[in-house]
Structure 1
Amino acid sequence: MKERPILFTGPMVRAILEGRKTVTRRAIKPPPDFLGSMADPTTPFKTLGAGLHGQIVCPYGQLGDRLWVRESWAADAQVDAVAPRDLSQGEPILYLADGGARQTGCSMITPGKARPSIHMPRWVSRILLEIVSVRVERLQDGDGETAFESRYIAEGINRIHHGDGEYYYHAFESEPGPGNWIDPFDAWRELWVSVNGVDSWATNPWVWVVEFKRLEVAHG
C-alpha cells in the first residue's frame, strides 16, 4: 500500500466531505500509442480493471493505495513569511474550501495569506482516500446513456429538486437558476470544462477513472 498526494479544487473538496464525490477522472498524459486513435472507441484497454493497464501504470495508484488530498489552505498571518516546509506542525490551519480548522493547542489569531494546494505538506492534509477501483476510458463514454447517470453524479455534481417534481443537475453548488441540466452528463461536461478547458473536452481524451472512499478526516 502506497500513499500519494492528489489535488482537488474547493468545490470538489466540499463534495468529498459531503459524500457526493467518490470518483475523479484525470487525463492520461501523454496517451500511449497502443490506446488507439481518437476516432477508435473500441480499443479494449478502456475496460481494463485495476492494476497494470497494458503497458500503463496509473500515477494515482492501484486498488488499496491511498491518496492524501491537497487543497487551498492558510496558516496564521504571523507566519506568512514562513515556507510551508518550515512551519511547525503545531500551527493552526484554516481550510479555505469550507472554513474548517485544524488546531492542536494553538488558536489562530488572524488567518494569513491563501496558500495553494500544491504547497500543502502531508501533515496539513485532513482528507485521506482509499482507491477502490481504477480503469481507463474515453472522457465522453456514456454520453446520452441513462444507465450511466450514477457514474457522473459520483463526480460531485449536484442533484437539486426544484419544487416542480423535477430534479436538475448542477456542476457546482447553486440554487435553481442558470446552469440547470436535465442530464447529469451535461453537468459533468460543464465541470470538466471549467477545470480543463474546452479544448480538452473536444479532443475526447483517454482518462484514468479513479474511484475511492474516504477513510478519515484527520483534522478539522
Structure 2
Amino acid sequence: MKGPLVRATLEGRKTQTRRPVKPQPSDDIVDVEYDDIAELWLGNTKEDNDLGFCSSWTARCPLGRTGDRIWVRETWDWRDWQSMANRKVRIAYAADGAQVDTIAPCDWNPVVYNAARWHPSIHMPRWASRITLPLVSVRVERVQDITDEDAEAEGVEPIEGSYREGFRAMWQDIYATWDANPWVWVAEWKEIEVSRWELVA
C-alpha cells in the first residue's frame, strides 16, 4: 500500500480497497455471486441464467473472505538490530515516520536487507506489518460502478469536488484500465488493528 493510502487507513479515511480480478471474466458474464458451499465466486452468462446451466466462471478472491483478517504491506526499514540472542529490532515506516521496537522471528536474517534504506512494500515480511484489516464484506463489481461515497472510502483526495474522479485518476495511474471497466474485487473493513509494539518517540 502506498504512503498516502497507509496514512488514510491509519486515520480511518480509507475503509475499502479494490483490485482487478485476474483473469477477467469473459465479456458475456452478466452477474457474479458468492457460493458459500463451494467457497467460490460464480459468474453467470444470460444463457446460464435462462437455461439453468452451471456457472461459466469461478474464482476465489485473493484478498480473502468476509471475516478474514488481512495484513497491510507498506514501505519499511529495519534499524538498531541488537543481537542474534534477543533478536530485538526497530522497524521504521515511511508513510508516517513511525518507529517501533519488536522481536524478529528466529528465521529472519537482517543481512538480507540493507539497513538505513527504505524497502518496497512487496518485500515486507508478515511479522513487520503493523496494520491488520478485519474484513466485513467482499464483493465483485465493475470498477466504474464505484459511487462517490465508496470512492471517498478508498481514501483518495477529491478532484474538483469529486471523490469518484479522484479515484479514477488514482486507478488510471496504477492500472491504466479505467476505460476498459474491468471487474474488480472490493474488500471493506470498518476498524483496523494496529500492533501494540513499543513505540519509539
Q: TM-score of the superposition, structure 2-length normalised?
A: 0.74
Q: Which runs of 5+ in 2 are unaligned?
A: 43-57, 104-114
What is the match of residue 212 of structure 1?
Answer: 189
Q: Residues 89 and 123 of structure 1 are in contact (CA less than 8 Å); yes or no, is this contact kept in structure 2?
A: no
Question: How much does 1:207 deviate?
Answer: 0.4
Identity, % of aligned positions: 43
Letter in 1 for 2:164: F
Partners of 1:32 and 1:216 in 2: CA distance = 33
State how many pairs are aligned.
167
Q: Which runs of 5+ in 1 are unaligned?
A: 1-7, 80-85, 106-110, 143-147, 159-168, 170-179
TM-aligned CA distance change 1:56 to 1:73, over 3 Å: same
2:12 aligned residue (15, 19, 22): 19
TM-aligned CA distance change 1:194 to 1:113, over 3 Å: same
Question: How much does 1:32 deviate?
Answer: 2.9
- Structure with greater proportional strand content: 2
Partners of 2:121 and 2:100 in 1: CA distance = 16
Q: TM-score of the superposition, structure 1-length normalised?
A: 0.68
Partners of 1:211 and 1:125 in 2: CA distance = 19
Partners of 2:131 and 2:191 in 1: CA distance = 7
Question: How much does 1:183 deviate?
Answer: 2.1
Partners of 1:129 and 1:208 in 2: CA distance = 15
Partners of 2:11 and 2:35 in 1: CA distance = 27
Letter in 2 for 1:61: G
Q: Residues 149 and 185 of structure 1 are in contact (CA less than 8 Å); yes or no, is this contact kept in structure 2?
A: yes
Letter in 2 for 1:27: P
Question: How much does 1:78 deviate?
Answer: 7.5
Please list, as runs of the form range in 1=range in 2, the aligned pairs for 1:1-220 lying within 5 A after superposition: 8-33=1-26, 36-37=27-28, 43-45=30-32, 52-54=40-42, 55-76=58-79, 89-104=87-102, 112-142=116-146, 148-158=147-157, 169=158, 180-197=159-176, 200-218=177-195, 219=197, 220=199
TM-aligned CA distance change 1:114 to 1:136, over 3 Å: same
What is the match of residue 108 of structure 1?
Answer: none
Q: State the structure with more CA Rg.
A: 2
Q: Residues 75 and 118 of structure 2 are in contact (CA less than 8 Å); yes or no, is this contact kept in structure 1?
A: yes
Which of structure 1's runs of 4+ aligned residues deviate more than 6 A?
none
Letter in 2 for 1:93: I
Q: Residues 68 and 122 of structure 1 are in contact (CA less than 8 Å); yes or no, is this contact kept in structure 2?
A: yes
